[in-house]
Amino acid sequence: MRVKLLYCTDLGALKRVLAQKGVPFDPEVMMDHVVYMFEIEDCSRVTTHQLVRHRAVSYDQESQRFSAATREGVVTPPSVQSNEAAYKAYDDALKTVYSAYERMVAAGIPKEDARYILPSAIKTKLVMTLNARSLMHMIWQRTALQAQWEIRELATTLHHLAQDATPELWTKIIER
């Protein structure tokens, strides 16, 4: 998985407006006005299905209607990777699925219909824009111990990127 911060609000610009009005900078209040845009690449659709349950967030995701799926582009969970019998079952199933997908596309079935057979393990890319309040809530929920490993990894990375870019806003320890 790769996560990149594409831009975030310039806190200096907000502080100048607040100073002009004689209002102190309050991180709690400014959370509604500071936004981040991230690129998230090569995480599974399992994880993005969980991610898009978070509301008041803007997402644009690579569409399987238009891009062809490849056998190489899947995420394998560590629990499967480390279990020989499970990995064989996983790999066999993927070979069957991708073979069927390729045969359907070769037979002239549109990608948007052939994709019905694709696994949730498939890697995807998306851009996501949200404000600091929504991001903090997402991180708080998705770094919980009961959250799944892949979205925990994503939430932890998002936290580090946001904290590095705007440290004044991320003064509380919110990871669980």
Partner 1 sequence: MKVSLAWSSPNPERTIAAAMRRCYSTKAIEEIETELEQKGPEYWKYLLSKALQDKSLDVLEHFVLTLLVEGTEDAEVGALARNFPYLRATRLNEADWLLTLNARTLVELWRDPQSKPFADMIVTELDRRGVCPIFNGLAFGARINAS
The nearest distance, CB 145 to partner 1, in angstroms, is 31
61 binds partner 1 (CB under 8 A): yes
Is the CB of 60 or the CB of 164 nearer to partner 1? 60
Residues 15-54 within binding reach of partner 1 (CB under 8 A): 16-18, 20-23, 29, 32-33, 35, 37, 39, 41
Q: In what order do the strands lie in the sheet with 2-8?
A: 2-8, 35-44, 123-131, 58-61
Is the CB of 90 or the CB of 162 nearer to partner 1? 162
76 binds partner 1 (CB under 8 A): no
Contacting residue, 25, 60, 117, 154, with partner 1 by CB under 8 A: 60
6 binds partner 1 (CB under 8 A): yes
Q: Decide if 65 is catalytic.
A: no
- DSSP codes joined into one string, the chain: -EEEEEEE--HHHHHHHHHHTT----HHHHTTT-EEEEEEEEEEHHHHHHHTTS-S-EEEE--TTTSPP-TT-B---HHHHT-HHHHHHHHHHHHHHHHHHHHHHHTT--HHHHGGG--TTBEEEEEEEEEHHHHHHHHHHHTSTTS-HHHHHHHHHHHHHHHHH-GGG--S----
The nearest distance, CB 117 to partner 1, in angstroms, is 19
Work out the burial of residue 128: count CB atoms within 10 Å of its CB; fewer than 13 is exposed, 13-18 middle, 19 or more buried: buried
Is the CB of 131 or the CB of 163 nearer to partner 1? 131
Is the CB of 51 or the CB of 143 nearer to partner 1? 51
Q: What is the contact surface with partner 1 in residues (CB under 8 A)?
A: 2, 4, 6-7, 9-10, 13-14, 16-18, 20-23, 29, 32-33, 35, 37, 39, 41, 56, 58-63, 66-68, 125-127, 129, 131
What residues are annotated to the active site?
142
